[in-house]
Amino acid sequence: MIVVTGAAGFIGSNLVAGLNAAGHTDILAVDDLAEGARFRNLRGLRIADYADRADFMKMIDGGLPRGTRIEAVLHQGACTDTMEWDGRYMLGNNFEYGKKLLRFCDSFRIPFIYASSASVYGKGESGFAEDAEGRNEYPLNVYAWSKHLFDAWLRAQSRGLRCQAVGLRYFNVFGPQEMHKGRMASMVYRTYIQLREKGFVELFEGTDGFPAGEQKRDFIHVSDVVRVNLFFLEHPEISGIFNCGTGKARSFNDVAKTLISLMGRGEIRYVPFPENLRGTYQSFTEADTARLVGAGFGEGFRPLEEAVGDYYRFLEDREGLLCQAGGTRS
C-alpha cells in the first residue's frame, strides 16, 4: 500500500492520478475533508481506502494493523497558505506532522518522499541551489520558515536514517485540481479567471528592480511534479533534498500574454505593488536543476507555452468551475 497524505489537495490528487496511471491502486488516501467540496479532487480516482488525518495519526501512534504493509509514504499534506501567520498552526502542520511521519517511516524502513518548497530560498540573493548547510536559505514568512525548519531537521537526521528520505522543493506549480485553493491558487489559474471574468488581468507594477509585470517565477506544470515524485519512488536508493522546477524563469507578462493569445482577447493592467507584501515577496525564482539531473532524472520539463496551453484547454472544457469551494487551511 502507498500512503498519500494531502490526497484531496492539488498536488496530492494529481499524485494519486499518476500512481493510478502507473498501475498502482492499493493507495491509502489521507486528508482532512472538513471542507467537503475537495472530495471532487478524488472523484474518479482509484484508491483502496481513505483515512482522516487525525485517524491516520492515531494509527501511527498505535502501530500498524496486523497484515498492513506500507510500501511508501508520499507526504503532501501541509498548510500551504503563505499569508498565514499563525506560527503554532503552521509548525504543527508543516514541522511536527512531518517529523512524526518520518520517524514512523524510519522505524519500518518505509520510503518517505515529501513536499518542501522553493520559498525557503527567499529572494534568492544567494541563488537557488540546494546547499548541504542551508547557507542560501532565507525564508521570508512563517510558511517558508516551517519548510526550511523541516529540511534542516532532516539534514541533521540523515546519517542515522534507515529509510529513503527525499524532500522536493516545489517551485511555482500549476495545473488541474488547484481550483479550491482560492488566493493560494497559481498565478496561471488566477490570470485565467481574471481574463475570463473581467477581460483583463492585473499584474504588479515594478518591484525589486523588475519592470511592470516582469517579475519572474519558475512555473512548473503539476504533471512534471508528479513525474519527479514517481522517479524517486522508483529509486529508493536515492535520498536527499532536490529542487523541483524547470530551471527556466518566465515573467508574469509571459503567462498573461500566452493566455490572452489563447483566448483571443484580454489586456494587461498594472497595479501598485501592495505595501503589505514588501519584504516578503519573491520577485524571482529559478530552480538550479543540477542536483536533480545528477540523481538521474533526465526527462526534462514541458515548455511554459505548451503547459499553459494544455491547462487552458482543460479549464475551458470545464468552464473553470471545478471545486471552487474551500478555504486555505488544507
Domain coordinates of the chain in residue numbers? 2-172+220-244, 179-218+248-286+303-317
CATH of domain 179-218+248-286+303-317: 3.90.25.10
Report helix, strand or coil for 169: strand
Asked if 70 contacts 133 with a C-beta cutoff of 8 angstroms, the reply is no
Q: What residues pair up with 172 in beta bridges, in sequence order?
A: 219
Domain 2-172+220-244 architecture: 3-Layer(aba) Sandwich (3.40)
Mention every residue, 6+ apart, whose C-beta is less than 8 A from residue 139: 119, 120, 122, 145, 147, 148
| Distance set, CA 271 to CA 171, 204, 207, 211, 293 (Å) | 24, 5, 11, 12, 39
**DSSP secondary structure of 265-283:** --EEEEEPPPGGGTTS--S
Residues of the chain with pLDDT under 50: 320-330
What integer pLDDT is reported at residue 324 of this predicted model?
Answer: 37
Full-model pTM: 0.93
Rounded distance, CA 151 to CA 147, Å? 6
Category of 311 on φ-ψ map: left (φ > 0), alpha (ψ -120 to 50) or beta = alpha
Rounded distance, CA 180 to CA 41, Å? 9
| Tens digit of each residue's pLDDT (9 = 90 or more) over 119-170 | 999 999 999 999 999 999 999 999 999 999 999 999 999 899 999 999 999 9
What integer pLDDT is reported at residue 319 of this predicted model?
Answer: 62
Tell me the average pLDDT of the chain. Answer: 93
Enumerate the H helices of the chain as residue ranges. 10-21, 53-62, 87-91, 97-108, 142-157, 187-198, 222-233, 252-263, 290-294, 304-317
What integer pLDDT is reported at residue 322 of this predicted model?
Answer: 42
Catalytic residues: 143, 181
Asked if 104 contacts 98 with a C-beta cutoff of 8 angstroms, the reply is no
